Structures are given as structure tokens and as C-alpha cells.
Amino acid sequence: MNAKSQTEIQPSLYNNFVAITKARLSISVVVSTVAGYLLGVSQMYPFSWLTLLYLVIGGYCMVGASNIFNQILEKDLDALMDRTKNRPLPLGTISVQNALILGILLTILGLVILFVVNPKTAMFAAISIFMYVFLYTPLKTKTPLSVFVGAFPGAIPFMLGWVAATGNFGIEAGTLFIIQFFWQFPHFWAIGWFLYDDYKKAGFFMLPTGKRDKKTAFQTILYTFWTIVASLLPAFGFTGQLYLSKIAAIVVLVLGIWMLFYALKLYSEMTKEAARKLMIISVSYISLLQIIYIIDKFLR
């Protein structure tokens, strides 16, 4: 094989970095954090481009590091699954040692940057990476409760933005946390459903009953309902400075009914196609929800 062919096959340093940090996932998490930041800014806590820049860079470093450590721990399991077998570690395009060094460097850099934003932001980011790497990741092969444990670090980014803007964790940040906490169950159970066979190869327990059955589908409906309830809490004036107008609440409710409809379809059809649709709708739901919250805040 000539040098040109080797270059074509060997991923670039940039492509390896994108893959090992799971760039698409990391960016989506950072966007959620930015949404929380925009909701937190006010006359008392004015918007700052520099703070936002720190939040984006520090947030990406922390999420990217979490993904790196996750892939190190699951290197052999990733090689068993079709959707993960072409990741850098199973392919050997990045060594475990180099991945570990990169993960540590990103963690340190992320914590330092977020500490500059404020100490509480750095603290919650540290809690998130610890729970994701040392609790959620090893539990995936042991118990369906891994999704419950993973929902905690997964719910932190949205509220982390509020904490970055205000330096405080109160009812507002707690509400943002609860919304994303409940949302993760139907989202990840939908993923666990349509990727059930692939996850089974690695021994991952992602569904609440361990099976694609009516009980799992019913719990998906139940947590979709609680997601809608949590999303509407700011409309009732119980969540401090986090407020939702009546018009915005109606739009959020319609969004929730849309997601609930697909959760009910999963219950009635019990197919991978229905689960895939629910997963896509769930991503649309949380993205549109954050946009509605932000637009409603700045139009009032």
C-alpha cells in the first residue's frame, strides 16, 4: 500500500478529535447550556460575550472529556456493536494512552475555564463528569437503573447555563434540571428500544424491564407525561425568575401532546420504527422547548 492510500485510510487528527469527543453530542449539550445561560441573564445578571465564550469552550471540554473516558471504559464493548465498532479506540486510530491524556487535559482545561465563570459552574460540571464516567458508564452492563443514574449528569447542562449566568442554584435552575431529567427517560428508552439488538451484543441494559414489552412502553408514556408537566411549571408562577407566558405555555403544551402521541404510538405498535420516530420527536421537543423559552423571555 502506497503512502497516499495510507493517508486516505488513516483519519486526520481533526477527524479523530471529532470522533473521540463525540462532537455532535457535545455540541448539542453545549447548546443546551447556552440556552440555560440566555434564560439566566437579566438586568441583575447582564449578558457577557466573554462569559458565554468561556461557557462554550469549558462546556465542550467537559462533555468531550466525559465521552473520551466513556469510550476508554467501553472500548471492548464498542467493538461488539455495529453503531460503535468504527470509533477511534476499537479501530486503533487512537491509543488508549493518548485518549486518556486528552481526556485528562480537557477535564483540567474545562474545570479551570468554568471556574473562571464561577465556582458553582465548575462544581456542577465536575459532578456531571464524575457521575457519567464512574456511575452511569459501569452500570450500563449491570442494571436498567443506569438510565436513572445517567439522567442526573444528563440534566445538568440546561441548568448549568443558568448557574453560569447568575452564580446561583435556586428554584429556576432546579426547574430546568427537572425538565431535562424527566425528558431523558422517553428519549433514551426510545433509543434503547430501536437499538435493542445492538445493545444486547454488549450486554447493555437500557430498557426499564430489560425487554421491548408493554411495561417499557407504558413507562415511556408516563415519563413523557411528567416531562410535559415539568415543562409547564414556569407558567404557574412557582419558579421564581423563570417564567412562561400563557401563549408560550400553550405552544409548549402542543409540543408535549405531539411527543405524547408518538409515545402512545410506540405502545400500540411496539416496533423499532415507532421507537425511532419517538427518539427523533424527543430531540425536536427539547430543542424547540428551549427556543420557545428563550423567545418568550426576550419578547416579554
Q: Which of 141, 169, 197 is the last residue of a domain?
A: 169
The answer to whether residues 251 and 242 touch, using CB atoms and an 8 Å cutoff, is: no
Q: How many residues are recorded in the chain? A: 300
The answer to whether residues 158 and 36 touch, using CB atoms and an 8 Å cutoff, is: yes
Residues 118 and 249 in one domain: no
Domain membership of residue 246 as a residue range: 171-300
Q: Which of 140, 169, 198 is the last residue of a domain?
A: 169
> What per-residue confidence (pLDDT) applies to 300?
74
Q: Read off the C-alpha cell for 199.
A: 445493545
Residues 46 and 136 in one domain: yes
Residues 73 and 115 in one domain: yes
Residues 151 and 181 in one domain: no
Domain with residue 48: its CATH number is 1.10.357.140
Q: Read off the C-alpha cell for 61.
A: 471540554
> What per-residue confidence (pLDDT) applies to 10?
58
The answer to whether residues 221 and 260 touch, using CB atoms and an 8 Å cutoff, is: yes
Residues 10 and 159 in one domain: yes
Residues 227 and 79 in one domain: no
Gap between the Cα atoms of 74 and 72, Å rounded: 6
Diameter of the chain by CA atoms? 68
Residues 176 and 276 in one domain: yes
Residues 83 and 197 in one domain: no
User: What's the pTM?
Assistant: 0.92
Query: How many CA atoms lie less than 13 Å away from 37 in the CB half-sphere?
Result: 26
Residues 159 and 239 in one domain: no
Across the 300 residues of the chain, what is the mean pLDDT of every consecutive 10-residue run?
45 89 94 97 94 97 97 95 93 95 98 97 97 95 93 96 96 97 97 95 92 96 98 95 96 98 97 97 97 93
Residues 246 and 291 in one domain: yes
Residues 117 and 9 in one domain: yes
Q: Which residues contact 5 (CB under 8 A, 6 or more apart)?
A: none
Gap between the Cα atoms of 145 and 280, Å rounded: 23
Q: Which residues contact 227 (CB under 8 A, 6 or more apart)?
A: 179, 182, 183, 185, 186, 256, 259, 285
> What per-residue confidence (pLDDT) applies to 4?
43
Neighbours of 290 (CB within 10 A): 22
> What per-residue confidence (pLDDT) applies to 205?
85
Q: Read off the C-alpha cell for 38.
A: 440566555
Q: Which residues contact 73 (CB under 8 A, 6 or more apart)?
A: 133, 137, 138
Q: How many domains does the chain have?
A: 2
Q: Which of 134, 169, 204 is the last residue of a domain?
A: 169
Neighbours of 56 (CB within 10 A): 17
Residues 162 and 180 in one domain: no
